[in-house]
Amino acid sequence: MTATRPNYDAIVLGAGPVGLCVAAALASERFSLALIDRAPLPGSAGASGDDDWDHRVYAVSPGSAEFLRAIGAWQRLPAERLTPIEVMDVRGDGDGAIAWSAYDQGERALAWIVEHRELCAALSESVRRAGSVEIIAPAEPASIAWRLDAAVLALGDGREVSARLAIGADGVRSWLRKGAGIATEPRPYRQSAIVANFIVERAHRGRAFQWFLDGRGVLAWLPLPGSRISIVWSAPDALATELAALDPAALAERVAEAGNHALGGLRAISPATSFPLSFLRLPSVVAHRMALVGDAAHGVHPLAGQGVNLGFGDAAALVRVLAAGRGIGDAGAALVLERYARKRAAPVFAMQFVTDGLSRLFEPPALKRVRNAGMRAVGALGPVRRLLAQGALR
């Protein structure tokens, strides 16, 4: 292979929300890059019907929203498709309970519920308008070689692209991660997330709910515009299989019953979809000429709704480090990548420790009294409750 000069500063592999975010942010810093994905980039979302709501939604924190605004994506989201979470009401599997409010935190919202479809459309438009991003999609990665000065990616159609840095934003089963020789596999939780959207009988008033259900996993209700909610039920695999097989009316009744009919009756407006859940912790999120972001870098339980926010945190940190190290003249320099790895180690570990710990704490029946007493204690201590919220907000 001839050692020609790399085509780009960076290649971003994966055009989900985090990959798109990295591409838009790097382009705003005047880095040259290629964005590669197996599917075409989405166009405008084009949702129109009252019941036309994406079943996959994100709880975007205020800190993440600020980052998305800085790269021109947040302001492209249609206001009528956004919903603020103003109160978060968490219930244990006994009498434990904690509630957080945006007012107590001095925020407009604890998080904003955004549809996957709308978010990707807004980010794609930011990437297209950037000008310095070559979009190579659809394209199938075939192989990757690691030169001393570059990563060289061969595509299935025979094309070849090279860059100083390859950024893996290609999900929990990352192709690029395997190509870099990082063999760690996700650890299954033996749970699956059931997601679906519903019309509710009583107004949610910006309140989100979460129940730790005795032996039945974790159920979250997230507010959508109007009288709608989106649910995520992280259920043991056997229960998840049962729920996914229910007809819409039966599923609506099961979800309403599990949530103690907190918003009255429910009517399904989307089919239920199931996603397997897993935990992923890597020895390192960087390697020679490579950095990982988002689900390619870490896997967390969705009970805190922080997966995408961790990914946006990765994107922001990586872009800041690359911009600060521009004087080196090499986006893939080991010194620069190690700075990124150090910056992300603590926040990712903290979130994994909390979410994985909570998922385990609510499994053993013998600990039921202890965990609910702990929830009551935290709920009664305002300063502690506010401190716990700050990490998620920013």
Give residue-wise pLDDT tens across range 284-318.
999 999 999 999 999 999 887 889 999 999 999 99
Residue in 171, 392, 373, 125 with CA at minimum distance from that of residue 275? 171
- C-alpha radius of gyration, the chain, whole number: 21
Closest CA to 141 of 121, 160, 167: 160
Q: What is the pLDDT of residue 384?
A: 43
Q: How confident is the model at residue 393 (pLDDT cuts 50, 70, 90)?
A: low
At residue 373 the predicted structure's pLDDT band, cuts being 50, 70 and 90, is: low
Is the Cβ–Cβ distance between 72 and 129 less than 8 Å? yes
Q: Give percent above pLDDT 70 in the chain.
A: 88
Is it true that domain 8-42+53-393 has CATH number 3.50.50.60?
Answer: yes
- State residue 371's pLDDT score: 65
Quick: pLDDT tens for 185-195. Answer: 999 999 999 99
User: Cα–chain-centroid distance for residue 71?
Assistant: 18
C-alpha distances out from residue 305 to 61, 183, 257, 278, 299, Å? 9, 27, 22, 14, 12
Number of Cβ within 10 Å of residue 336's Cβ equals 21
- Write the CA distances from 170 to 13, 16, 59, 141, integer angstroms: 6, 8, 20, 11
**Could you give the CA distance from residue 60 to residue 77 in angstroms, rounded to a whole number?**
12
pLDDT given for residue 347 in this prediction: 92
Q: Is the pLDDT of residue 348 over 90?
A: yes
User: What is the distance between the alpha carbons of residues 276 and 294, in angstroms, rounded to a whole number?
Assistant: 17
Across 120-146, average pLDDT: 95
- Give the per-residue pLDDT at 2: 46
| DSSP string for residues in 82-101 | -EEE-EEEEE-SSS-EEEEE
Q: In the prediction, which pLDDT does 368 show?
A: 66
Give the total residue count for the chain. 394
Is the pLDDT confidence value at 208 over 90? yes
Report the pLDDT value the prediction gives residue 4, as an integer from 0 to 100.
65
Mean pLDDT of the chain: 90
Q: Which residues contact 343 (CB under 8 A, 6 or more apart)?
A: 317, 321
**β strands within 300-357, DSSP E:** none
Average pLDDT over residues 48-70: 88
pLDDT of 387 above 70: no
Give Cα separations from 377 to 98, 362, 372, 385 (angstroms): 9, 16, 9, 10
pLDDT of residue 358: 78
pLDDT of residue 154 exceeding 80, the answer is yes
Helix axis angle, 62-70 to 307-324, nearest 10°: 40
What local confidence, expressed as pLDDT, does residue 367 receive?
Answer: 61
pLDDT at residue 150 is higher than 80: yes
Mean pLDDT for the stretch of residues 71-94: 92
Q: 369 pLDDT band (50/70/90 cuts)?
A: low
252 within 8 A of 198, measured Cβ to Cβ = yes
Biggest alpha carbon–alpha carbon distance for the chain: 67
As separate numbers, helices (DSSP H) first and strands (DSSP E) second, the chain gives 11, 20
pLDDT exceeds cutoff 60 at 1: no
Instruction: For 36-49, write each residue's pLDDT tens digit.
Output: 999 999 876 555 55
Residue matched to tokens 């909610």: 229
Instruction: Name the residue with higher pLDDT: 67 or 45.
Output: 67
Q: What pLDDT was estimated at residue 126?
A: 95
User: Cis omega (within 30 of 0) on the bond before 138?
Assistant: yes
Beta bridge partners of 163: 8, 151
| Three-state secondary structure call for residue 183 | coil
pLDDT at 321 over 80: yes
Portion of the chain with pLDDT greater than 90, in percent: 75
DSSP H or E stretch at residue 307:
helix 307-324
